[in-house]
Amino acid sequence: MNDSNHDFHGPAQVISRNDVGAVALCSCGHLHLNLEYLTLRFEPAAFRELVGLLAFAQRRLDTDARLQTDTAPSVDALPMH
């Protein structure tokens, strides 16, 4: 991400929200992904890449039987939402 052209970060407009978090568009043009106490800031192209990555992972989870399980996760496993 290159911040050279975006020095001012003003108010952000929430464009999507659910129980997991929110996505807001900053006046500087960056997208902010707010998850509980964490905010990640992306340039639009990087945000699109992230969306593609997450959509691909979700499709794999939905369609690959090896990734689907009916058992409770191991206590050693990282939480996945």
CA dihedral 29, 27, 55, 72 (to 10 degrees): 140
Q: Is residue 71 part of a domain?
A: no
Instruction: Enter the pTM of the model.
Output: 0.64
Q: Given this model, what pLDDT does residue 47 score?
A: 96
| Domain assignment of residue 38, given as a range | 12-66
Query: pLDDT digit string (tens) for 13-64?
Result: 999 999 999 999 998 889 999 999 999 999 999 999 999 999 999 999 899 8
Domain-located, residue 58: yes
Coil, helix or strand for 81? coil
Sign of CA dihedral 8, 14, 15, 21: positive
What is the count of structural domains for the chain?
Answer: 1
Residues shown for the chain: 81
Q: Would residue 80 count as lying in a domain?
A: no
Q: Provide the CB-side half-sphere exposure for 49 (13 A, CA).
A: 6
Residue 56 belongs to a domain: yes
Give the model's pLDDT for residue 69.
60
- Is 72 contained in some domain? no
Query: Where does the pLDDT of residue 70 fall: very low under 50, low under 70, confident under 90, or very high at 90 and above?
Result: low
| DSSP H or E run through 53 | helix 44-63
